Chains A and B, each alone.
Chain A
C-alpha cells in the first residue's frame, strides 16, 4: 500500500497554494462523531480518504486506465500524487461511479459504496467552499478553532471575481413590480 499523504488531494483544484487542503483535512476530520460504549470518538476521515485515493489510483494504473509519473508532486506522495490533474479527476470519477474493486479499498471505505460516494463528493464540495469562501483569508489563524479566527486580509478569490464582501447594503432599488396592497387578500387584514 503506498504511503498516504493527506496533503495531496487539494492540488487538483490548483487550490493547494492557498492551503485549502488543510481546510479539507479539518472538515473531513471533524465531520463524524459517534457513541461507543463509554466515550464518543471522532471518526477522522482525512487519512483513510488519502489512502483510498492512493489505492484507487493504483488500481487504475494497474488497469492502464491512467498513467503514473515517476515523480510525485509531494515528498513521500502516494500513487494519487503521481498522476496528472486529469488522471486524478479520472480517479475521483471512478470512485464516484464505483467502477473499481471496492474490496481493495481501505477501511472504512471497503465495500462501503454509500460512504465512498459521500466522501468523494464532500472532497469536491469542501474544495469549492474552502477556496471561494473567506476561509483562506483567516491566514495564520485559519486552523484555529472557529471562534478564534480573525480575517487578516480581504479574500483574494473575492477580489479576483468582484465580490465586495461584507456590505451594509447597496443603493440598488429599482422599485416594486407590485406590492401586497395590489393583490387580493394581501393587506386587508393588516393594521
Chain B
C-alpha cells in the first residue's frame, strides 16, 4: 500500500516547485498537486488531448526536451491566448472554457496552470526586492533574505541579460536622460542595468556562421529568439532549456532527489483540518478533483503548503472554511502598470545603434531596466505582434485616441488605436521600443480577492477580484510614465504612444496572504498548524517595484528549512 506523503504542496509554479525541491533535498517525502497539464513529460505525450495513462511522475527520465519543443510551438495564439492557449488559466483540455474569475471591470488577469505555473510564460526577470522596501516594513530584514537570494540565483541560474539592439537604444536613452549604470544586485539608488534574468547566457558560438541557427537551438544557451513568453524550448535537453521556468529548473532538480512526486491535472478543492488536542486547527490533508474525469479523492499529509498563487491561495482558504482572518485575500497589489511605446525613424536608428530597425522581438523579451527606488521601475518589453498590439493599443482606461486625443504635450497618442492609427502604429512595429512602467504600489485593505457568492464552478465559489490604486500609486505611475517617455525621446523617438492601462491588469500579483497578518515570519499560517504558504501571496508589500518571483523563490527556500526544522 502506498503511504501518505509527509508534505503536500499545492501548485507547481514560481514558489511551489522551489519548496518541493528544497524539501526533497532534506529527505522529506513530498507530493506536489498541480491543477494544469505537464509539458515535456513522456507520460503525457499529448497533454491537451488525453488524460494519459499515468497519474503522476517522479522519475527524471520521464522528462523529454524534444517533446517540450514539439508542444511549445512558439506561436503566440497557440501558446498565450487567454481563452484557448496552452499557457492559460484553465484545464489541460483546451476545448473547455478557462476557469472563471469575476473581475467586474476592464481586466486581464494573466496566470498559467501547469507544471511551471505562471513561470511557463514569465520573462524570467529575477531582480531582488529593493532593500528599503523590506527593511522597516516587512517583519523580517533584507539581510535575512540575501543567502536565500544567492542560493536561488545560483540554482536557476540568474545572469545579466546580453545586450541586443533594443537594449543598446535603451541604455543610450537612459544615459542621455541623465541616469547612470547601476552595477549591483542590491538596489538602493536610481540607475539602469541589464535585467538579471533566469536565462542561460548565449552559446559562445552564437555569432559563428559555421553553426546554423537550428544547430545552435539544440545547444546550451539562449539564442536570442525572443520567444520567452511563448515558453522557450531551446537547449540540448529539458533541464538545459535556456529560459528557466521552474518546469525546467526546480522541477527536474526536485525529481532528482528521489523524494518528490508531481501530479498534474489535479485541482485541490479543499484543505482539510481537524482540532488538535490543544484545541488548535491543524492540517489533516486535502481534497482533490481530477480535471479530466471529475473524480474526487482525499489525500492525507502531516504538512500542507499552499503555493497556488495570489488568487487561488486565498480562494482555497475561503472555500475550505479555514478560520476567519480579516486579511485573507486582502491587500492585493499589482504594480499598477502602464506602457509607453516610442517609434523611431531609420536614420536616427542608424546614427545611434547602427541598424535601421530595433526589431523589439529579438533577444530576451525583457532585457534591461531602470530601477527607481521610491517610485518603482521601468523595463523593456519586446513581445510578438499580437501580444504587443493587445495591451499597447487595445487595452486602456483612456478610451479611444480618435475620440479623445491626448490632452498632454508629453505623448503624441494615448489610449486605444483603431483604423489607420492602429495600422500605422503596427506598420512601424520593427522600429519601436516599448517600456513598461511598474509602480511601487501601496497596499490597501480594500483591494482584494473574495468569493463570489453567486457564481460557482466545479471547484467551488469563484474568486471575485477588486483593485483600484491609491492616490500615491497613481502619482508614482504618472512620474514613471514621464521618465520612461523622456528616455524614449532622448533616444530619438519621433512619436510616443501611452497606453494608460486600466488598473485591473494583473501580471505581477502579490500580498493577498501577507506575512505578519495571515502567516508568521516562517510563512506558517497563524491560525492553522502545519499549514504553510509559498507563493507571491505572502509578500508584505509590492517589493518596491521589482518583479516578484525571485523573492518568492528565496522565501520558499527559507520556508522549506523552517518547516523541516519544526516538523521533521
A42-B394 in contact (CB<8A): no
State whether the Cβ of A183 lies closer than 8 Å to any Cβ in chain B. Answer: yes
Complex Cα distance A166/B386, Å?
A: 13
Give the nearest-CB partner of A96 in chain B. B399
Q: On chain B, which size bracket covers the interface?
A: 35 or more
How would residues 371 to 398 of chain B score, 1 for a CB under 8 Å from any chain A CB and 0 otherwise? 0000000000000111111100111000
Q: Which of B97-105, B483-491, B520-528, B546-554 contacts A (4 or more CB under 8 A)?
A: B97-105
Cross-chain pair count, CB within 8 angstroms:
251
Which residues of B, 423-469, contact A by the 8 Å Cβ criterion?
423, 426-427, 429-430, 455-458, 462
Stretch from B1-9, B51-59, B157-165 that touches the partner = B157-165
Task: Report the separation of the CA atoms of residues A89 and B158 in the bound assembly, to the nearest whole angstrom.
Answer: 46
Q: Which of A124, A133, A158, A167 contacts B81 (CB 8 A)?
A: A133
Given A40-B457, A89-B402, A163-B361, A185:B108 Cβ within 8 A: no
Cβ-defined contact, B419 with A168, below 8 A: no
Q: Tell me which of B48, B77, B455, B462 contacts A134 (CB under 8 A).
A: B77
Cβ of B352: which chain A residues have Cβ within 8 Å of it? Answer: none
Shortest Cβ distance from B454 into A: residue: A34
Query: Are B100 and A34 in touch, CB under 8 angstroms?
Result: yes
Supposing A129-B390, A158-B385, A170-B225 touch, asked if A177 and B193 sit within 8 A by C-beta, the answer is yes
Interface positions, chain B 189-232, Cβ under 8 Å from A, are: 193-194, 196, 201-202, 206-207, 209, 213-214, 216-217, 222-227
Q: Are B206 and A169 in contact (CB under 8 A)?
A: yes
Write the A24-49 contact mask toward B (1 if CB under 8 angstroms, else 0): 00110011111100001010000000
Q: Tell whether, in the assembled complex, residue A128 and residue B390 are in contact, meaning their CB atoms are under 8 Å apart.
A: yes
Interface centre among B154, B164, B194 (most CB of A within 10 A): B154
Q: Which residues of B contact A178 (CB under 8 A)?
A: 160, 181, 183, 194
* Alpha-carbon separation in the docked complex, A130 to B390 (Å): 9
Report, as a range, how many residues of chain A touch the other chain: 35 or more
Bound state CA distance, A117 and B199, in angstroms? 38
- With a cutoff of 8 Å between Cβ atoms, the chain B residues found around residue A124 in the complex are 394-395, 416
Interface positions of B (Cβ within 8 A of A): 46, 48-49, 73-78, 81, 83-85, 94-98, 100, 102-108, 146, 150-151, 153-154, 157-160, 162-165, 167-168, 171, 181, 183-186, 193-194, 196, 201-202, 206-207, 209, 213-214, 216-217, 222-227, 234, 357, 359, 361-363, 384-390, 393-395, 399-400, 402-403, 416, 418-419, 422-423, 426-427, 429-430, 455-458, 462, 502
